Amino acid sequence: MVKRYISKFYMILMFIFLYAPIAVLAVYSFNSSKSRGAWGGFTLKWYVELFNDRDIKSALYYTILVALLSALISTIIGTISAIGIHNMKHKQKALILNINYLPILNPDIVTGIALMILYLSLNLKLGFLTMLLSHITFGIPYVILAVLPKLKQMNKHITEAALDLGATPLYALRKVLLPQIKPGIITGFLIAFTLSIDDFVISFFTTGSGVNNLSMVIYSMARRGIKPTINALSTLMLAVVLGLLLLINKRSSFDKKHVKKVGK
Amino acid sequence: MKNKAKLLTYPYIVWMGLFIILPVLLVFLYSITFNEINNIKTISFTINNYKMFFTPVYIQVTLRSIYLAALSTIICLALGYPIAMIIANSKMTSKSILLLLFILPMWMNMLLRTYAWMTILGNNGLINTLLANLGLPTLNLLYNNGAVILGMVYNFIPFMVLPIYTTLSKMDNSLIEVSEDLGANKVQTFIKVIFPLSLPGVISGIIMVFMPAVSSFVIPKLLGGGKDALIGTLIEKLFSLGDWNFGSAVSIVMMFIILLSMAVMNRFDVDKEGGAGLW
Amino acid sequence: MKKKIIELKNITKNFNDETVLDNINLYVNENEFVTLLGPSGCGKTTTLRIIGGFETPTEGNLFFDGKIINDIPPYKRQINTVFQKYALFPHLNVFENIAFGLKIKKLKKSEITYKVNKILKLVGLENFCNRDINSLSGGQQQRIAIARALVNEPKVLLLDEPLGALDLKLRKEMQIELKNMQKRIGITFVYVTHDQEEALTMSDTVAILNEGVIQQIGTPVDIYNEPKNAFVANFIGESNIIDGIMLDDYKVMFCNKVFTCVDKGFSKDENIDVVIRPEDLVITDENKGLLKGVIKSVIFKGVHYEMLVNAEDFEFMVHSTLKFPLGSNVGLTLTPEDIHIMKKSNN
Amino acid sequence: MKKKIIELKNITKNFNDETVLDNINLYVNENEFVTLLGPSGCGKTTTLRIIGGFETPTEGNLFFDGKIINDIPPYKRQINTVFQKYALFPHLNVFENIAFGLKIKKLKKSEITYKVNKILKLVGLENFCNRDINSLSGGQQQRIAIARALVNEPKVLLLDEPLGALDLKLRKEMQIELKNMQKRIGITFVYVTHDQEEALTMSDTVAILNEGVIQQIGTPVDIYNEPKNAFVANFIGESNIIDGIMLDDYKVMFCNKVFTCVDKGFSKDENIDVVIRPEDLVITDENKGLLKGVIKSVIFKGVHYEMLVNAEDFEFMVHSTLKFPLGSNVGLTLTPEDIHIMKKSNN
Amino acid sequence: KNSGDKAEIKVLNYGQYIDKTLLTEFEDKYNVKIIYDIYPAPEDMYTKVKAGGTDYDVIITGEYMIERMINEGMLAKLDYDNIPNFEFVDEKFKNQPYDSNNEYAVPYFWGTLGLLYNTKAVTEKVDSWDILWNEKYANRILMMDSQRDTMAVAFKKLGYSLNSTNEQELKEVKQLLLMQKPLVMAYVVDEALAMMIAEEADIALIWSSEAASAMGSNENLNYIIPKEGSNIWIDAMCVPATSSHKKEAELFINFMTSKESTLKNIDELWYSTVHTEAVKEVEEFLFDNPAFNPSDEDVKRTEMFRDLIDEIKVYNKLWTEVIAD
Ligand SMILES: Nc1ncnc2c1ncn2[C@@H]1O[C@H](COP(=O)(O)OP(=O)(O)OP(=O)(O)O)[C@@H](O)[C@H]1O
Ligand SMILES: Nc1ncnc2c1ncn2[C@@H]1O[C@H](COP(=O)(O)OP(=O)(O)OP(=O)(O)O)[C@@H](O)[C@H]1O
Ligand SMILES: [Mg+2]
Ligand SMILES: [Mg+2]
């Protein structure tokens, strides 16, 4: 009982730590002064301005599109590769994993510039595609790292049982293996998505004209002080996601109750 | 069966060859040449870039970076593990919600978050204002290693929590029961059974925190005040200033050091895991 | 006088409104060997888990040495368990698995090594010290699980089908080893098995469970020879159970014939179950038998042949070392002592 | 003529340079019921896993219908397996587990429901459709594992101790069900069990393994009555194995006495093993017996008492439904047919 | 392509360095579509454009970067016939060394490097770089995490040219900067503006443009150009050699140089203008601001950065050693 309270308390502390800066930036989205340093009174003008800013809208679109696509593709490639890596012999596995660590280890600017030179020498036009490829490249290693522990935990006899019952490896993968490593896959997706949303340097060097993401907009604003419109945007995004979460939570708890009733 | 599953990695191996190895080779090439390498005829090789690195100043930077990153990683682990456990032990529906709530702040831009931290930590920031109002002495919270570590912990802790959470969720409960049956109390059970079983997740978490932390540059620049350069800031600076050659050498050395120390760790691990290595 | 070390008082356990254990009352004396016996899913494992502390009873109390221990966590109970599904630690090798409990007790290294090796020899796996758990065969894993619990020399040992995966030979050996150990070290055993013979051989007391209800508690001989109801009789050994009518004391009618028996005290013309063990029936010449019948099937069982004999519309199972040809007409005889009369159970 | 459906030719399997299977040769005819029997760790599961396609033999070939299938993946083999450790899908409920194979075959929904329900009834778990796998008892899980394999009606079914977790009653029922099914649908069974009686009851052919080497292949009666060596004799049933000398055809000496027997063809004065089944020995009055002895121990086994009789420095195990008092002096008799002579095995 | 015959130009600029309504205005007025991109720092822009993956038509960037790009043949000569508004550009900013004949670039805004300080905390007279070495302000000083700007201070304090490559002078600069390091609160990237407004620090090395906007938010702040001299910078518009819509690009440059556009831009950005007509019409408070409109003497003491080509590596090394120490 006491333990439950302690863990609840700890959890709340942790969430305060995580959300304190977010709260600050949300508050500043209502600050009529343009500068982060001073409070100039309450205003909604940044929200109004947000809807009139063409660059932010297009950047938001590309940010979400690239994040979703790259996270999805990284998750697919990463998960499949992780399964392969899991089945490798020790030496091979070590080699592949070490190479896999490089994008995680390399500073973004090195990756960004190196990829840019790569694309150009491949005669790829910098733009949406190259940016997407780059995001996939740095997403996959994280997905692999997220999926591998779950694979290691898995009982191999269960996959064998599926094959035994006539499941092709692909079917066994879909119906037996994936459901079991699902937490790892979801985690991998979340990490890849998060990294993609947050990436600036690599995106900058590998994108082309007209395709910008929010991070690029924000970093480029830094010199003059980031406009509170961005805070407004962040606050809105947060609100939307939180709202969705609340909705899902309500739905699923409703479903549960419902099922229980029917069950009786 | 095993051999076949291995094939699944081949597409990624090709991908790696193209998008990871080739760029790294390029970086390596820069590290051993003068100037640009656009023209193959004028290429000339040198090891000066490496020589330059091995001077006390840069070694110190490297050590400092590894120290800060390691410290942040340890703190992430210490703070994150309980969180992962709490989430893993919570009810089915609240699990995914908690998880998303946990990573949601990271969807706000890192620069914004870091600036927000500066607003909180500054001399006239929220914390110090609070302290002053309480009649307490104010603190120097910003522009020191503490702030850098705080920033790193803040930004990387989800990457520690998530993989640990995945290994803890749906852990074989009977093993925990056996442990308690054999007389291990909750703490001993944790140390001897739960933690070792979650080790793969912990290792993933450590890698996902430590490696980007070693080479991070925005956080040390903004929260550390750019006074004590870290290897990430150094590389970023060298590259953006156009000195790709030396920058490349620094990156290569860093990769080498980190991967080598990982290999050493791996060696230790081999005995325990029966040849399975880190994995 | 014997001391009750464990006592279950009115224990009931529900899972999602389904009653799995129903008002269980059972005590275990110090140094006693108690076996729980019952069909699959009857609640044996659940009972052990309650004693071990892994489930809390929905109702009722659990006593250890006279004190209620409902809320004492498993690690504070001086009880060790051999789990039905082994539950070996995958991250530890054979040695480390067995040494687990000893290390927790902070024994000296040399002592741990000594004890582990001794117990490994006992289960016949001396050379398996450094083996990975996953590379062991089923029976080997089971033996490690036994060793891991035994090595701690607990006051009470709970064993959930500990010999299930072993072959007859090894099982017999291990039975004798376990029994010896129990006597020598003075451990109390609560044993779950699905092997009736094992239960009868090893136990001081046998408790028969069915659908969460205790059917009978008694010594092996009691249970076997004086089953309380047809379920017990049928479960504990193979039996022919025939509807009969008790005409009078020592006089029973079944299969349209009147037999002399050794039972009395029933009301007149009471409907009863007649239980006859297959090995008590003797096949004779057709005209020498009390009953006449035809051999319907013959199965070789090694020690004996198992034959089904159709006599007076009832299929008698008969065990005999002699083989009679399929379809031949035979007689069946039996002595009055072999006729067990029992009251009809309610269901 | 019968068709060989599965054939193992010179199969050897090493794990890390340790030989686990050593030059195994074995074939299985269509619709045959072959049982692998052997002590724990002798390689039974490994043999099944090779047939199922989960291990590749280090040496030798595996034939299915006359074709080598060493490299055919498991899902392309018309073989289903009941795994020793069940290996049920934890993320699926009981129904979905059983329906797994049928869904792959793209059967109609109604058909799947029909088949699953039918098989659930067979294993006695009609009402468990929506149950979570982890909430099942050990025996229930095992039955689901059997159902999951059986429902696919494969050509060949591999069963690794499929009834190990079931009580005698249910085991017998399931034995009969399995056997009936095997005959009715015409499935070929390769069966692993540690239960000698089960092996003898159900099988057409029994193969005895020890330490990766096949000791004997034959019908149950052959194996039981004509064991090729002392290991088989000892393993397949409890036996008294005594050192003896073959004096002449039909004349054997052991325990310092000369007995008549039915064996011949040994060289003169050859050292041999004499095997006598405990149930073949009859306890008589001290002076009526061929051998004189003292009762050393008496264990109640339900069907019979198991007694150790010390006679002429050898401890004879004797099974008898009559109980003799501990320490009493008795005689032992036996007929010439009950004396089995076998060559000394090399080890 | 999809907009049919409608021309399209690609513009690359710093972030937040334009009144965006001007873009729409231009598009409507000339029926030319603008694809507008931004970059965070000139070096990053250079790296990317130099690599050749881009096809911009107009780039707005700093003078030293333009010099480098001219030297490397990355820019196209402008056709000034298409930029009649060029005449309004103050002669002061024409024919500067980075583009000595004014063939490649049209100035956009300009500014200086100076000290922004809080008059509440710094009560003494501030007129010299020396104050940055004054222990009284230990940990209240913000320097820039930009090697050339921070080194420029040291050069000027020592009385040298801020483009010096003299070994001895560089050594002295390094010494000076290392001496100063313990006093520095932080080498900030872009945060000086906000930090000074929030009064987190007392003195900051800053660009006049940022200073102007800081002073607009906090009236305790003041800006000066120290007497030892300082740096002056010009941001200018140029057309890359790879441009395929040079005409429209020049049209855009001309549009941006018009008085109306300039005024609109000033209103939004508060940067010092190069426009002779516009400057007359800026609001009074801005006109009087020393950061927006420094005195001619102050400007006379300033020096422009030159592209150092390979010598930059020496600077890089010096600077990394300063911050790594
Ligand atoms: N992956 C492996 N690595 C090393 N040794 C193994 C491996 N798998 C099995 N063995 C060994 O091979 C031998 C035979 O194992 P197998 O599982 O076939 O035995 P089994 O006859 O099924 O025994 P049981 O009746 O106990 O299940 C055992 O000694 C076992 O320890
Ligand atoms: N967690 C649970 N949730 C719901 N039902 C459960 C749970 N655990 C056990 N049961 C049910 O309780 C009953 C008794 O289970 P238990 O494991 O005690 O049986 P058992 O006697 O050990 O059987 P077996 O010999 O097959 O192992 C079974 O019907 C089982 O399905
Ligand atoms: Mg059980
Ligand atoms: Mg086995």
Q: Of E323 and B265, which is predicted with more confidence?
A: E323
Residues of D in Cβ contact (< 8 Å) with A175: 100
> B119, B129, B143: which to substitute to probe chain E, counting the most E Cβ within 10 Å?
B143
Report the nearest-CA residue for atom 7 of ligand 1: C135
Identity (one letter) of the amino acid at A76? I
Please write the tens of the pLDDT for every residue from D123-182. 889 889 899 998 899 889 989 999 999 998 888 999 998 988 888 888 888 888 888 888
d(CA B235, CA E194): 27
C-alpha A128: how far from chain center = 18
The answer on pLDDT for A203 being more than 60 is yes
At residue B42, the pLDDT reads 64
For A39-77, write each residue's pLDDT tens digit. Answer: 778 888 888 888 877 778 888 999 999 999 999 999 999
**pLDDT tens by residue, E212-266:** 888 888 889 999 999 999 999 999 999 999 898 999 999 999 999 999 999 998 8
Name the amino acid, one letter, at C134. Answer: N
The mean pLDDT of C126-137, rounded to a whole number, is 90
Give, in degrees to the nearest 5, the angle at Cα E287 between E285 and E291.
95
- Predicted TM-score (pTM) of this structure: 0.88
> What pLDDT score does C113 carry?
94
pLDDT score recorded for residue C347: 46
- Does C75 contact B185 at a Cβ distance shorter than 8 Å? yes
Computed on alpha carbons and rounded to an integer, the radius of gyration of chain E in Å comes to 20
User: What confidence tens digit (pLDDT) does each residue in B17-33 have?
Assistant: 889 999 999 889 888 88
Q: Would you list which residues of chain B are within 8 Å, Cβ to Cβ, of chain C?
A: 172, 174-175, 177-186, 188-189, 192-193, 196-197, 199, 274
Q: Is residue A36 part of a domain?
A: no
Residue pair D292/D278 in contact (Cβ under 8 Å)? The answer is no
For chain B, what is the domain count? 1
Would you place residue B84 in the very low, low, confident or very high pLDDT band (cuts 50, 70, 90)? very high
Rounded mean pLDDT of chain A? Answer: 86
| Residue B241 β-bridge partners | none
Ion ligand 3 neighbours (CB, 5 A) are: C 45, 84; D 137-138
What is the per-residue pLDDT for B137? 85
Topology of domain C4-230 in CATH is Rossmann fold (3.40.50)
The residue range of the domain holding A182 is 43-263
The CA distance from A76 to A84, in Å, is 13
How far apart are the C-alpha atoms of B172 and B194, rounded to whole Å? Answer: 10
C216 versus C224: which is more confidently predicted? C216
Q: Out of A35, A200, A210, name the one closest to residue E37 (CB).
A: A210
Q: Which residue in C74, C90, C105 is closest to B181 by CB distance?
A: C74
Separation between Cα atoms, residue C306 and residue C317, nearest integer Å: 7
Nearest to E16 among A35, A204, A221 (CB): A221
**Which sign does the torsion angle of CA C77, C81, C87, C88 carry?**
positive
Check residue E268 and give its pLDDT: 84
> Of the candidates C345, C323, C30, C297, which has an alpha carbon nearest to the alpha carbon of residue C189?
C30
Residue E3 predicted with pLDDT over 80 = no
Domain containing B219 equals 50-278
Q: Decide: E302 and E225 in contact? Cβ < 8 Å.
A: yes
How far apart are alpha carbons B59 and B54 in whole angstroms? 6
Q: Could you give the CA distance from residue E18 to residue A55 in angstroms, rounded to a whole number? A: 12
Touch between C and E (at least 3 CB pairs under 8 Å): no
Q: Tokens 């925990």 belong to which residue?
A: B176
Q: What is the mean pLDDT of chain D?
A: 88
Nearest chain C Cα distance for residue D268, angstroms: 31
Give the pairing of strands D205-210 and D18-29.
unpaired
Residue nearest to atom 16 of ligand 2 (CA): C43
Predicted confidence (pLDDT) at residue B269 exceeds the cutoff of 70: no
Query: E306: CA distance to ligand 3 center in Å?
Result: 85
In a domain, B143, yes or no: yes
Give domain status of residue A18, yes or no: no
**Given this model, what pLDDT does residue D345 score?**
64
On the question of pLDDT at D23 being above 60, the answer is: yes
Question: Which residue lies with its CA nearest to atom 29 of ligand 1?
Answer: D41
Subunits adjacent to chain A (3 or more Cβ pairs under 8 Å):
B, D, E
**Alpha carbon distance A31, B163 (integer Å):** 38
CATH assignment at residue B248:
1.10.3720.10
B267 pLDDT above the threshold of 70: no
CATH 2.40.50.140 in chain C, residue ranges: 238-343
Give φ, ψ of D195 to 5 degrees: -105, 105
Looking at per-residue pLDDT, the higher value among D103 and E15 belongs to D103
Which positions ≥6 away from D329 have C-beta within 8 Å?
D286, D292, D293, D294
CA distance A20 to B120: 8
Q: Does B22 fall in a domain? A: no
User: Given pLDDT bands bounded at 50, 70 and 90, which one contains residue C261?
Assistant: confident
Chain B residues touching residue C91 (CB < 8 angstroms): 193, 196-197, 199
* Residue A262 banded pLDDT, cuts 50, 70, 90: very low
Whether residue D45 has its Cβ less than 6 Å from ligand 1: yes
DSSP annotation of E129? G
Task: Tell me the sheet residues that pair with D343.
Answer: D272
Percent of chain E with pLDDT over 70: 98
Asked if B183 and C73 come within 8 Å (Cβ–Cβ), the reply is no
Residue E131 confidence class, pLDDT cut points 50, 70, 90 = very high
C140 neighbors C163 (Cβ within 8 angstroms): no
Give me the DSSP letters along A154-203.
S-HHHHHHHHHTT--HHHHIIIIIHHHHHHHHHHHHHHHHHHHHH--HHH
Higher pLDDT, A83 or A2: A83
The pLDDT confidence band at residue E205, using thresholds 50, 70 and 90, is very high
* C-alpha dihedral (C245, C250, C254, C259), degrees to nearest 10: -160
* Mean pLDDT score of chain E: 89
Which ligand 1 atom is at minimum distance from the Cα of D84?
A: 27
Q: Which fold has domain C238-343?
A: OB fold (Dihydrolipoamide Acetyltransferase, E2P) (2.40.50)
- Protein residue with its CA nearest to atom 3 in ligand 1: C135
Atom of ligand 2 nearest to the CA of C47: 18
| Distance set, CA D242 to CA D305, D307, D311 (Å) | 22, 17, 12
Rounded CA-CA distance A131/A121 in Å is 15
Q: How confident is the model at residue B273 (pLDDT cuts 50, 70, 90)?
A: very low
Chains within contact range of chain D (3+ C-beta pairs < 8 Å): A, B, C
Q: Which residues have a Cβ under 8 Å from the Cβ of C128 and sit 6 or more positions away? A: C94, C120, C136, C140, C144
In angstroms, rounded to a whole number, what is the distance separating the alpha carbons of residues A239 and A34? Answer: 22
Cα A180-A181-A184 angle, rounded to 5 deg: 150
Q: Residues E86-119: pLDDT tens digits? A: 999 988 888 888 888 889 999 999 999 999 999 9
More confident residue, C173 or D206: D206
The response to whether residue C212 sits with its C-beta less than 6 Å from ligand 2 reads: no
CB neighbours of residue C134 within 10 Å: 12
pLDDT value of position B204: 92
Work out the minimum CA distance from A138 to partner chain E, whole angstroms: 20
The mean pLDDT of E279-283, rounded to a whole number, is 85
D46 C-alpha to ligand 4 centroid (Å):
7
Q: Which two tokens stand for residue A196?
A: 């993609």
Whether the CB of C244 sits within 6 Å of ligand 1 = no
Instruction: Report the distance separating Cα D216 and Cα D206, nearest Å.
Output: 8
Residue E182 CB: number of other CB atoms within 10 A? 10
Rounded to a whole number of angstroms, the distance from the CA of D255 to the nearest CA of chain A is 52
Domain contains B34: no
Q: Is the pLDDT of residue E2 over 50?
A: no
The pLDDT of residue D78: 86
Residues 6+ apart with CB under 8 A from C164: C84, C142, C193, C194, C195, D164, D165
β-strand C270-276 against C314-320: which pairing, if any? unpaired
Ligand 2 atom with the smallest distance to the CA of C38 is 21
Contact: E218, A37; criterion CB under 8 Å: yes
Cα separation values, B14 from A99, B6, E283, Å: 12, 14, 62
How far CA B124 is from CA of A34, B120, B147, in Å, comes to: 18, 8, 15
pLDDT-based confidence at residue E58 (cuts at 50, 70, 90):
very high
**Residue A247 counted as domain residue:** yes
Which one-letter amino acid corresponds to residue C298? V
User: What confidence category does residue B41 fall into, taking pLDDT thresholds of 50, 70 and 90?
Assistant: low
CA distance E133 to E115: 13
CATH 3.40.50.300 in chain C: give the residue spans.
Answer: 4-230
Q: Please give, one letter per residue, the 3-state secondary structure of B63-88.
A: HHHHHHHHHHHHHHHHHHHHHHHHHH
Extract the tokens encoding A253: 């708890």
Distance, in Å, from the CA atom of A87 to the CA atom of A161, rounded to the nearest integer, reads 17
Q: Is the pLDDT confidence value at B2 over 60? A: no
Mean pLDDT of A145-159: 89
Where does residue C246 rank: exposed (0-12), middle (13-18), buried (19+ CB within 10 A)? Answer: buried
User: Smallest Cα–Cα separation from C45: which of C221, C164, C174, C187?
Assistant: C164
- In ligand 2, which atom is closest to the CA atom of D128? 31
| pLDDT at B272 exceeding the cut of 60 | no
Taking contacts as CB-CB distances below 8 angstroms, the residues of chain B near E323 are 226-229, 233
CB contact under 8 A, B204 and A146: yes
Asked whether residue B25 is assigned to any structural domain, the reply reads no
Using CA atoms in the order C111, C115, C120, C126, what is the torsion angle rounded to 10 degrees? 40
Residue-wise pLDDT for B153-195, tens only, equals: 999 999 999 999 999 988 888 888 888 888 888 899 999 999 9
Place of tokens 């004797």: D318
Interchain CB distance below 8 Å, A165 and D88: no
C252 phi and psi, to 5 degrees? Answer: -130, 145
Output the CA–CA distances (angstroms, integers) from residue E34 to A55, A128, A208, in the order listed. Answer: 12, 18, 14
Distance C310 CA to ligand 3 centre (A): 36
Q: What is the ipTM of this complex?
A: 0.86
The DSSP H or E segment spanning A228 is: helix A228-263
Ordered DSSP codes for B101-142? HHHGGGGS-HHHHHHHHHHHHSTTSHHHHHHHHTTPPP---S
Following DSSP, what letter does each residue of D56-100 receive, concatenated?
A: --SEEEEEETTEE-TTS-GGGSSEEEE-TT----TTSBHHHHHHH
Is residue C279 very low, low, confident or very high in pLDDT (cuts 50, 70, 90)? confident
- For residue D88, is pLDDT > 50? yes
Q: How many CB atoms lie within 10 A of CB B163?
A: 34
Q: How confident is the model at residue B37 (pLDDT cuts 50, 70, 90)?
A: low
